[in-house]
Every structure is written in structure tokens, then in C-alpha cells.
Amino acid sequence: MAVGIFDSGLGGLTVLDAVQKRMPDLPLLYYGDNAHTPYGTRVPDDIYNLTTAGVQALFDRGCDLVILACNTASAAALRRMQEGWVPEGKRVLGVFVPLIEALTERNWGDNSPPRQVAVNDVALFATPATVSSRAFQRELAFRAIGVDVEAQPCGGVVDAIEAGDMILAEALVRSHVEALKRRMPRPQAAILGCTHYPLVEDVFRDALGEDVAVYSQPNLVAASLDDYLQRRPEMLGSGKPGFLTTGDPKSVEAKATLFLRRKISFEGVE
């Protein structure tokens, strides 16, 4: 048995790591579409086709539940997948609802009407495709009123992380934070709306300053998955745990090992 975790590349490992820390005995099957990363500069149809191919590979290996540990896929493809593609008995969950529930201080499944919340000015950092989908703002509007969201498309950050160029990634993060602050000088909260960004979370925190509350996904998604599996333990499926990549397994595992600070072996898939 294994829960599937999908990402366009290495970013979903930040979610996998938090899930393993919270539930060390939970078997996980990871799929990184490193051959096609980044998704954040692609058009929605392209993101949908790549995401369904990756999730299908996880279903074919016995997973019944797949976490889209990718905001870009969650924003551009998840709703369309849930409306007409996910087969009976399978489930695909995205990553930004747990984040928005934390921001709006809601418990899981609280469907009460939108209300005023503690934060008014929120900075959103995400890929260009996530920003242009406006999916965060849409999900937020179901739960909160009066929140001003200023979104910064962080071009180049995912590419730099995937290439292992952390110096470039840091420089890009600082320039994106500066650009955002020119439009919203004093955000109360910042959302790291891409699962790659926890790998440079300290840079975001430093550039934003200590007055800004930073919301990062891995622990929030892990808590929400824990809650889900307690209610739906039958969704553990029959897959075997492991790490799959459409990219070059040696190069992907070298970077994954560096990021997670433990040895990880990837199997190559088409």
C-alpha cells in the first residue's frame, strides 16, 4: 500500500518530507515529472495533460489516493480532473485548500459562509501559471471577505532549483520579494504558493522581514493528509513505496539527496 505524491519535479519532496516526519510508517510513492519541469510557464491544457499522465502512472501502480504536491497542477488541472477524469474509487487532492484553511483559521470541512478574518493584506508568491489561474483568490473568496491579495509570479525560481543553482534561486527570490513590496509595502502574511519554495523558505523569510507571517505548505498538507487518512483508511491503496522520475534518475537523485539530506534512489519511468 502507498499514497501517491505527484509534482512537476523536486518540489513535492518538501511535502513528502513533512508527511514522513508526521507519519513515519506511511508508505509513499513519489512521482516527479522532471523531464517536463517547469509547469509554471506552460498553458493549462499542457499542465492538464502532463498531470493526468503522471497521476495515471501512480494509479497504475496501485495508488488509490494521490496528492498533487504541485500548486500549478492543483490550480490549472485539479478541478477539471475531479469533474470528469478521476476514476471511481480513486481520489486526487490538491495542496492549497489546507493552506487557505490555515490562513482563514478554519477547520477542515467548515463550509460556513465567508467571513472577515484576521489578515487583510496577503502576499502570494507562486509560479506564473498559478498566479494567472487566480485559483488562490477563488478558494479564498469561498472562505474570507475583505482580504487584499497581491500576487507575484516568481519566474525562474523553479528552474533554478531544478538546476541545483541555489545562488540564482536566492537572487531571484529577493528580487521577487522586492517587486511585490513595491506594490504592497506591508503585507501581514505571505503565502509560499509553490512546493519548491520551502527549499528557499529562509530567503523568503529574510527578505520579507520578521513582521510578516509566512505560510508554507508542507506541514499543513501533512496534517490535512493525516486527518483525511484517519477518516478514510481504505484509501491507502495497494502500491509499493518508492521514487519515480521521468527525468534522469542519477541527476534527480543527487539533487533530492542534497535537499532532503538523506540518500534517495529514483527509478526512471517514461
Q: 154 catalytic, yes or no?
A: no
- Cβ atoms of residues 96 and 136 within 8 Å: yes
Instruction: Write down the least CB distance from residue 258 to ligand DGL, Å.
Output: 17
Q: In DSSP terms, which residues pair with 116 in a beta bridge?
A: 145
C-alpha span between 66 and 30 (Å, rounded): 10
Read out DSSP for 155-186?
TTHHHHHHTT-HHHHHHHHHHHHHHHHHH-SS
8 lies in the binding site for ligand DGL (CB under 6 A): yes
Asked if residue 34 binds ligand DGL (CB under 6 A), the reply is no
Which of 17, 28, 37, 244 binds ligand DGL (CB under 6 A)? It is 37
| 70 touches ligand DGL (CB under 6 A) | yes
User: Based on CB atoms, which residue is closest to ligand DGL, 4 or 40?
Assistant: 40
- Residue 236 CA to residue 2 CA, distance in Å, equals 6
Query: E strands of the chain, at which residues?
Result: 3-7, 28-32, 65-68, 91-93, 115-116, 121-126, 144-145, 148-153, 189-192, 213-215, 242-245, 267-268
198 binds ligand DGL (CB under 6 A): no
d(CA 232, CA 2): 14
Is 63 an annotated catalytic residue? no
Residue whose C-alpha is closest to residue 259's, from 200, 172, 176, 174:
200
Q: What angle do CA 80, 81, 87 make, to 5 degrees?
A: 145
H or E, element range at 100? helix 96-103
Catalytic residue among 194, 199, 221, 256: 194
Contact between 133 and ligand DGL by CB under 6 A: the answer reads no
Beta bridge partners of 5: 30, 67
Q: Does the protein bind ligand DGL through residue 76 (CB under 6 A)?
A: no
Residues 87-126: x/- map of binding to ligand DGL (CB under 6 A)? ----------------------------------------
Query: Which of these ranges, 2-10, 139-147, 208-216, 224-232, lies near ligand DGL under the rule CB under 6 A?
Result: 2-10
Choose which of 4, 32, 40, 54 interacts with ligand DGL (CB under 6 A). Answer: 40
Q: Report in angstroms how near the CB of residue 11 gets to ligand DGL at its nearest.
A: 3
Give the whole-angstrom CA distance, residue 151 versus residue 138: 13
Asked whether position 39 contacts ligand DGL by CB under 6 A, the answer is yes
Q: Per-residue x/- marks for ligand DGL, 170-189, CB under 6 A?
A: --------------------
- Out of 34, 51, 72, 245, the residue judged to bind ligand DGL by CB under 6 A: 72
Scanning the structure block, which residue is given the C-alpha cell 502574511? 189
The residue from 52, 104, 152, 195 that contacts ligand DGL (CB under 6 A) is: 195
Tell me how far, at minimum, the Cβ of 33 lies from ligand DGL, in Å. Answer: 8
Strand 148-153 with 242-245, pairing: unpaired
Residues that bind ligand DGL (CB under 6 A): 7-9, 11, 37-40, 70-72, 127, 130, 158, 194-196
The residues that are catalytic are 70, 194
